[in-house]
A and B are shown apart, each in its own frame.
Chain A
Amino acid sequence: MAEHRFGVEAGPRGFRFSRAFPFQAPGKALREKRPSAAASFATHHLTLSFLSAVALCGAWEWAGLVPISPAFPTFSETMAALWSISADGSLAGAFAVTLQPLALGLVISMVLGVGLGVAMGLSPKTEWLASPIFIVAQSAPLAALIPLIVFAYGIGLTSKTIVVCIMAMPVIVLNSFAAVRHTPKSLIEMGESFLATRSKVITRIILPAASPVIFAGLRLGCASGFIGAVLGELLITPTGVGDLITYSRSIADYPTMYAAILSIMAFCVLFIEVLGRIEVTIFRPEKRASS
């Protein structure tokens, strides 16, 4: 809130005087002009997001009507299908199944990934040990690895959870690692000069300083994890949302197939949004203060 920031009447005083002129609050002439109500509604970010969503849905509807491909349903058909799979409980049932490897995989990736990444950032030894694995894993062709995973762990929950982890973990680990490694040196020296112990330096300085990049990694990693969950269900055995997609494709019920894809995407976006909120609430008080 810019008004709030400039609204301070008392500029800071000097050590002795109160006329340190560089600090004076800007006068009226410098105040921001308030836009009119209509203009501020038109440029509000919610209005803009809504408009862009409407434009996207409209383009989709038009593309479905043309049609680009007989296998591409219109937006309204997809919405109708979404309504019907929601109403008959098949979507909820599918989610209940898909969520198991997804949730398990994401929790493992987040906890282990951040832990490992931070450990690598703090100690060069761990870095040498672990970083090659994740750099390789990040570029691994997952589809080629799946037969190996199935061979080793079967077609059940374990394999699907592993697929989620392979997708989610590398970016979480590598981001956490880079975040810790790039803590400003002067902040660490500041901590040491004010007698912080090593553990206090880690918890009070390194982790808070690293948290924005760690969370960026978590958001990217979780999005990949969602892809991994569906990929696992498509490539290992069709269950849950993957089954819904495979089955509706096999009977050429494309609206339902797209509805299933859309719903998992929407869920993913929602999840990542919640993650962002958690970050700001717990770790970035300065962002709360300025937004």
Chain B
Amino acid sequence: MTALAHQFFADPSPVTDCAVSVLDVGKIYAEAVTALEHINVDFPRGQLTSLLGPSGCGKTTLLKIIAGLLPASSGEVFVNDRPVAGPGPERAFVFQDFALMPWANVLRNVAFGLEMRGIAKSEREQIARGYIDQVGLAGFEARYPHELSGGMRQRVGLARALAVNAEVLLMDEPFSAVDEQTRRKFQEDLLSLIAREKKTFIFVTHSIEEAVYVSDRIVLLSPRPGRIAQIIEPAIERGGDPDAIRRHPVYLDTVDAIWQSLKTYLE
């Protein structure tokens, strides 16, 4: 951590109401790869927290441990004060590679989570149609994933996660497989989604700009082994014009300060 970074960022405010808290989590993969070590972090309810860090620092690993898809080697994760033992109905996952079923059309893909929860076909399809509409894919219900562009596929993945109405949305680099224009559009859409839905978002990215643009809080991870380097709260007003944020001096300074801080881990 550079002196500059220390001067620039105020200490993060204490989290009073946390939806997810990670307590001293460590992860050692087979072949003695230590992916995470002593991770302690709280995710405030109703906010978007980014996990940011260079490739291989354990962002996906941490997210999957929170999702209950991967057991932690040590420590514990609590969601609403209950320890995580596996996937749960209060969490939904958006995958980096979309993870859509190629043999199922958009409607079935979006309704998948509801189907697994045993909701009747007509009801789940009605709910799914609502979310398909919300992500802007109305009219594409009967299409198959291979007929959609990458951006449209990720909208399907997002609609599927929204459809189960989970409190916590876990997103693993959801926009990394789409082009830059679509990505910016997605980021703006995400901001309005956060404003609309009172959900807790945990968002993995390796783009500094993206993290600063969408996050209430940024958890900086350092690699080998993955540790928390810093927690940052960009003080950016997100109410008005989405394009104004990208020109906001605080936005630009925060991006630069994070870059200065991360640079030390790349040498």
**Contact (Cβ within 8 A) B181 A285:** no
Task: Give the chain B neighbours of A23 by CB distance below 8 A.
Answer: 149, 151-152
Closest to B147 in A: A5
> A187 is contacted by which of B101, B117, B134 (Cβ under 8 Å)?
B101
Size of chain B's interface in residues, with CB distance under 8 A? 51
Q: Which of A15, A190, A285 contacts B95 (CB 8 A)?
A: A190
Report yes or no: B101 in contact with A205, Cβ–Cβ below 8 A: yes
Question: B103-116: contact bitstring with A at CB < 8 Å (1 yes, 0 no)?
Answer: 11100000011011
Q: Does B144 contact A (CB under 8 A)?
A: yes
Interchain CA distance A194-B138 in the complex, whole Å: 23
Complex partner residue of B189 from A14, A194, A211, CB under 8 angstroms: A14
**Contact between chains at B103 and A286 (CB < 8 Å):** yes
Check A286–B151 contact: CB distance below 8 A: no
CB of B239 within 8 Å of the partner chain: no
- CB neighbours of A15 from chain B (8 A): 134-136, 189, 192-193
Give the residues in chain B near A200, CB-CB below 8 Å.
116
Is A283 part of the contact surface with B, judged by Cβ < 8 Å?
yes
- Could you tell me the distance between the alpha carbons of A242 and B146 in the complex, rounded to whole angstroms? 47
Which residues of B have CB within 8 Å of A205? 101
Q: Which of B86, B116, B146 contacts A194 (CB 8 A)?
A: B116
Q: Does A10 contact B (CB under 8 A)?
A: yes
Which of the residues A8, A16, A189 comes within 8 Å of B69, measured between beta carbons? Answer: A189
B-side contacts of A145, CB under 8 Å: none
**Chain A 5-30: CB-based contact to B (< 8 A → 1; otherwise 0):** 10010101111101011110000000
B225 beta carbon closer than 8 Å to chain A: no
Complex CA gap A21/B117 in Å reads: 36
Q: From B70, which residue of chain A is reached at the shortest CB distance?
A: A189
A208 within 8 A of B: yes
A195 closest partner in B (C-beta): B116
Per the 8 Å Cβ criterion, residues 93-145 of B in contact with A are: 93, 95-97, 99, 101-105, 112-113, 115-117, 134-140, 142-145
Residues in chain B near residue A192, CB distance under 8 A: 69, 86-87
Closest-by-CB residue of B relative to A189 is B69
Query: When A and B form their complex, what is the total count of cross-chain residue pairs whose Cβ atoms lie within 8 Å?
Result: 112
The answer to the question of B185 belonging to the interface, with a C-beta cut-off of 8 Å to chain A, is yes
A191 CA to B113 CA in the complex, in Å? 8
Q: Does A193 lie at the interface of the complex (its beta carbon under 8 Å from any beta carbon of B)?
A: yes
Whether A223 is near chain B, meaning CB under 8 Å from some CB there, is no
Docked-complex contact B185 and A186, CB < 8 angstroms:
no
Q: With a CB–CB cut-off of 8 A, which chain A residues contact B135? A: 15
A12 partner, pick from B105, B138, B179, beta carbons under 8 A: B138
Q: Give chain B residues whose Cβ lies under 8 Å from the Cβ of A209.
A: 101-103
* Complex Cα spacing A194 to B99, Å: 12
Q: Name the CB-closest residue of A to B181.
A: A22
Contact with A along B179-197 (1 / 0, CB 8 A): 1011001000100110000
Asked if residues B139 and A289 are in contact (CB atoms below 8 Å), the reply is no
A161 to chain B, nearest CB (A): 34
Is there contact, CB below 8 Å, between B113 and A194?
A: yes
Q: How far is the CA of A18 from the CA of B99 in the complex (A)?
A: 26
Residues of A within 8 A of B137 (CB): 12
Main secondary structure of the interface of A (DSSP, over half): helix
B146 in contact with A286 (CB, 8 Å): yes
Q: A15-B189, A285-B144 known; A193 and B67 CB under 8 Å?
A: yes
Contact with B along A200-219 (1 / 0, CB 8 A): 10001100110100000000
Asked whether, in the complex, the Cβ of A283 is within 8 Å of the Cβ of B147, the reply is no
A284 at the interface (CB under 8 A from B): yes
CA distance A140 to B137 in the complex (A): 54
Contacting pair A290 B136 (CB below 8 A)? no
A196 in contact (CB, < 8 A): yes
| Residue of B whose beta carbon sits closest to that of A4 | B147
Q: Which residue of chain A lies nearest to B140 when distances are taken between CB atoms in the complex?
A: A12
For residue A14, which residue of chain B has the nearest CB?
B136
B56 within 8 A of A: no
Considering residues A12, A18, A290, which has the most beta carbons from chain B within 10 angstroms of its beta carbon?
Answer: A12
> Would you give the shortest CB distance from A182 to chain B, in whole angstroms?
14
B103: which A residues are within 8 A, CB to CB? Answer: 208-209, 211, 283-286
On whether A186 and B99 interact (CB within 8 A), knowing A12-B155, A13-B138, A21-B181, the answer reads: yes
Q: Are A187 and B99 in contact (CB under 8 A)?
A: yes
Q: Is the CB of A12 within 8 A of B152?
A: yes
* Interface status of B91 (Cβ within 8 A of chain A): yes
B102 closest partner in A (C-beta): A286
**Which of B91, B151, B185 counts the most chain A CB atoms within 10 A?**
B185
Query: What are 19 pairs between A and B in contact, CB < 8 Å?
Result: A5-B147, A10-B139, A12-B136, A12-B137, A12-B139, A12-B140, A16-B189, A186-B99, A194-B93, A194-B113, A194-B160, A195-B113, A208-B101, A209-B101, A209-B102, A284-B103, A285-B103, A289-B144, A290-B147
The 7 A-B pairs at the shortest CB distance, nearest first, are namely A15-B189, A286-B144, A13-B136, A190-B99, A194-B113, A193-B93, A186-B99
14 extra interface residue pairs, beta carbon distance < 8 Å, beyond A192-B69, A195-B89, A204-B112: A12-B136, A12-B137, A12-B139, A13-B138, A20-B182, A22-B149, A190-B95, A191-B116, A193-B92, A195-B87, A195-B116, A208-B101, A209-B103, A285-B105
